[in-house]
């Protein structure tokens, strides 16, 4: 069967693999191959189950190494608890003034902040509370960027699908996959279980652990519509109304975490209830959990509408499911203990760092237990391999660990680091026909470093990150257009004020663009001086990356031979990467000044293009 028959139904640059529900970038090189035995059986190198905090990173890493990679996700988007669960404040990439986790997770977190035009906090400041080091991100934006990175890495994505049956073979696994309208088999060399509850390990009868009691989950919700002046005047009254509602059963324990009536009013993260018994391990328990979460929210909303200043209360943002903190953990070759974690123990096979206080939530809320200054816990490979298993790894919160160690090691940055480390191990194992536990640790670490991950011993000074380079008041040389077209990079312009360099949205010109960080309005300008060797008519285009956060009134002035044309450019829109400022007759020289005076929103300057128009070309030919 040739490639054309193999692919069908192209939409927006993606294609579907015939006879399966796998979708990938149409020009991907690392596609699953159809087996000779059956048209419904596909051969791949690595299967990742679950596209949450750990799983999407694992899939991207495997794809970037050229492995034929399939990612099965039972929900509709990537990110899991980070996005679908609404816990969009991943932590922690930094501790004690150092960066301990980098790589793909950090790349995407940083990118989502850059697209959102939100500078990162200064991580070099040590000893603030752990909450300071979380990175607030826009969860929905993050899911887009994660998906783009997966597709770019050639990963085959399958939403609404999950493994129905998994059978061990001589060289790996045969996995029966089902989803609405699809049913096929994947033959893979390695499985990485990133389901958050070690679901595949459970299907295979591998030993799993779970506490008698589980930490409560949270159904993330942000309320709106309060008259805060009235709320603030009636604080005492509201708290006693809350206590009364609890007594009468109109509210229940857990509708806020610790009995504080103001938590749901003030929470901007949405993390403001405790859903006891939350359990994401099966469709049935997740359904029960969601119902409990939604009932809690409705109870709270009804109550909030009765308080002074809450008459117009409503829901601003509510996630589609309740997020679980704890389900199953594997029993690995090693079980990470709370002492291992709090002492910052390094194992021979440690693959990445982790950092968080011990953070066990219970019926009374949570009291995080801080680690001693300078402690950097680590996660060894032996906690990511179920005991006695072959060709199988686990990444994410279901790592092999005791409950207390898990309450810290489960955090998102660590899950991302585990995802990347397991993927490197699984791809090397697949290439070398080995099981993950036998892959040379030095090779794994070398590959991780190649992909910008931090390995043990490689802590980076947080000072090096994440500040964008600044361009302050730089002089510039006059640019000369001698042919038909000239591209002038913004970073070469004469800069006044403080501009920041960025490369997040792909620059059209050069490797960076400049932005004003939405600050110091009226103080920043960029001047482009351009000489043309051939007098004539030129089209001038201003390049920038458009976005709704940009200014819609960026002043541009074009001076030619003493005549000045003033324009305002709406950077919320663009045409093919920018805006054509017009066509101008230039005899000798043009001066273009772009400033941030009286703008609201980010001002972005990637560069300028000067192009001869047909008229000029005709003149030149004569």
Ligand X SMILES: Cc1cc2nc3c(=O)[nH]c(=O)nc-3n(C[C@H](O)[C@H](O)[C@H](O)COP(=O)(O)OP(=O)(O)OC[C@H]3O[C@@H](n4cnc5c(N)ncnc54)[C@H](O)[C@@H]3O)c2cc1C
Q: Catalog residues that contact ligand X under the rule CB under 6 A.
A: 49-55, 72-75, 80-82, 85, 87, 89-91, 134, 162, 194-196, 199, 217-218, 271, 323-325, 396-397, 410-412, 415
Token pair 């033959």: residue? 187
CB nearer to ligand X: give 81 or 596: 81
Residue number with the smallest Cβ distance to ligand X: 52
CB nearer to ligand X: give 82 or 425: 82
Looking at the DSSP bridge assignments, the partners of residue 175 are: 166, 186
Tell how strand 563-569 and strand 525-532 pair up.
unpaired
CB nearer to ligand X: give 111 or 550: 111
Helix 139-152, helix 55-64: angle, nearest 10: 30
> Least distance to ligand X from the beta carbon of 454, Å?
17
Dihedral over Cα of 128, 129, 132, 134: its sign: positive
> Least distance to ligand X from the beta carbon of 238, Å?
24
CB nearer to ligand X: give 116 or 136: 136
Calpha distance 98→376 (Å, rounded): 10
> Least distance to ligand X from the beta carbon of 132, Å?
12
> Least distance to ligand X from the beta carbon of 9, Å?
23
DSSP 187: E
CB nearer to ligand X: give 238 or 351: 351
Looking at the DSSP bridge assignments, the partners of residue 332 are: 386
CB nearer to ligand X: give 75 or 571: 75
> Least distance to ligand X from the beta carbon of 5, Å?
28
DSSP, collapsed to helix, strand or coil, labels residue 233 as: helix
> Least distance to ligand X from the beta carbon of 615, Å?
58
Q: Is 283 left (phi over 0), alpha (psi -120 to 50) or beta?
A: alpha
> Least distance to ligand X from the beta carbon of 476, Å?
44
Beta strands in 430-549 (DSSP E): 460-461, 470-472, 479-481, 485-489, 494-496, 498-502, 513-515, 525-532, 536-543
CB nearer to ligand X: give 58 or 444: 58
What is the DSSP secondary-structure string of 268-300?
SSS----BTT---SSHHHHHHHHHHHHHHHHHH
> Least distance to ligand X from the beta carbon of 139, Å?
11
- The CB density around residue 316, as the number of other CB atoms within 10 Å, is 12
Calpha distance 257→303 (Å, rounded): 16
Contacts of 4 (CB under 8 A, 6+ apart): none
CB nearer to ligand X: give 213 or 523: 213
> Least distance to ligand X from the beta carbon of 217, Å?
6
CB nearer to ligand X: give 70 or 551: 70
Cα 384 to chain center, whole Å?
22
Radius of gyration (Cα) for the chain, nearest Å? 28
């Amino acid at each position: 069967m040739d490639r054309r028959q193999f692919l069908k139904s192209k939409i927006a640059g993606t294609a579907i693999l015939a006879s399966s529900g796998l979708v990938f970038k149409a020009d991907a090189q690392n596609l699953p191959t159809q087996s000779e035995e059956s048209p419904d059986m596909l051969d791949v190198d690595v299967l990742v189950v679950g596209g949450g905090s750990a799983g999407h990173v694992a899939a991207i890493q495997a794809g970037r190494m050229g492995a034929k990679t399939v990612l099965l996700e039972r929900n509709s988007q990537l990110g899991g608890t980070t996005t679908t669960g609404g816990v969009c404040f991943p932590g922690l990439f930094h501790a004690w003034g150092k960066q301990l986790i980098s790589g793909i997770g950090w790349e995407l977190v940083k990118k989502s902040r850059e697209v959102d035009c939100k500078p990162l906090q200064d991580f070099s400041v040590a000893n603030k509370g752990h909450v300071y080091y979380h990175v607030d991100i826009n969860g929905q934006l993050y899911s887009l960027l994660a998906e783009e990175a997966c597709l770019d890495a050639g990963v085959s994505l399958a939403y609404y699908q999950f493994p129905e049956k998994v059978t061990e073979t001589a060289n790996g696994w045969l996995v029966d996959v089902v989803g609405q309208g699809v049913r096929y088999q994947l033959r893979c060399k390695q499985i990485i279980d990133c389901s958050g509850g070690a679901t595949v390990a459970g299907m295979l009868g591998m030993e799993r652990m779970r506490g008698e009691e589980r930490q409560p989950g949270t159904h993330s919700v942000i309320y709106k519509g309060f008259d805060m002046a009235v709320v603030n005047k009636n604080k005492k009254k509201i708290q006693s109304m809350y206590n009364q509602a609890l007594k009468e059963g109109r509210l229940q324990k857990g509708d806020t975490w610790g009995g504080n009536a103001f938590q749901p009013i003030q929470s901007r993260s949405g993390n403001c209830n405790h859903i006891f018994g939350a359990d994401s391990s099966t469709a049935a328990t997740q359904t029960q959990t969601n119902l409990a979460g939604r009932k809690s929210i409705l109870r709270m909303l009804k109550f909030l509408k009765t308080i002074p200043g809450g008459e117009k209360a409503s829901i601003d943002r509510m996630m589609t499911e309740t997020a679980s903190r704890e389900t199953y953990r594997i029993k690995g070759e090693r079980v990470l203990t709370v002492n291992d974690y709090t002492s910052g123990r390094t194992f021979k096979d440690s693959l990445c760092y982790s950092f968080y206080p011990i953070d066990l939530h219970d019926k009374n809320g949570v009291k995080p237990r801080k680690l001693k200054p300078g402690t950097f816990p680590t996660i060894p490979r032996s906690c990511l391999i179920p005991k006695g298993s072959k060709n199988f790894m686990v990444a994410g919160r279901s790592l092999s660990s005791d409950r207390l160690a898990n309450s810290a090691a489960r955090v998102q940055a660590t899950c991302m680091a585990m995802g990347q480390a397991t993927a490197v191990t699984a791809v090397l194992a697949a290439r070398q026909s080995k099981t993950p536990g036998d892959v040379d640790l030095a090779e794994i670490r070398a590959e991780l470093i190649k992909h910008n991950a931090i390995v043990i011993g490689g802590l980076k000074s947080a000072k090096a990150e994440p500040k964008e380079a600044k361009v302050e008041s730089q002089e510039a040389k006059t640019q000369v257009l001698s042919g038909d077209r000239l591209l002038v990079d913004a970073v070469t312009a004469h800069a006044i004020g403080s501009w920041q360099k960025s490369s997040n949205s792909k620059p059209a010109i050069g490797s960076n663009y400049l932005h004003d960080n939405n600050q110091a309005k009226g103080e920043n300008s960029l001047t482009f001086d351009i000489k043309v060797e051939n007098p004539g008519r030129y089209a001038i285009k201003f390049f920038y990356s458009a976005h709704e956060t940009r200014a819609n009134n960026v002043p541009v002035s074009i001076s030619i031979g003493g005549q000045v044309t003033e324009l305002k450019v709406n950077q919320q829109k663009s045409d093919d990467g920018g805006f054509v400022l017009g066509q101008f007759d230039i005899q000798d020289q043009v001066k273009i000044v772009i400033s941030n005076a009286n703008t609201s929103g980010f001002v972005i300057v990637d560069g300028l293009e000067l192009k001869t128009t047909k008229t000029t070309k005709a003149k030149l030919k004569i």
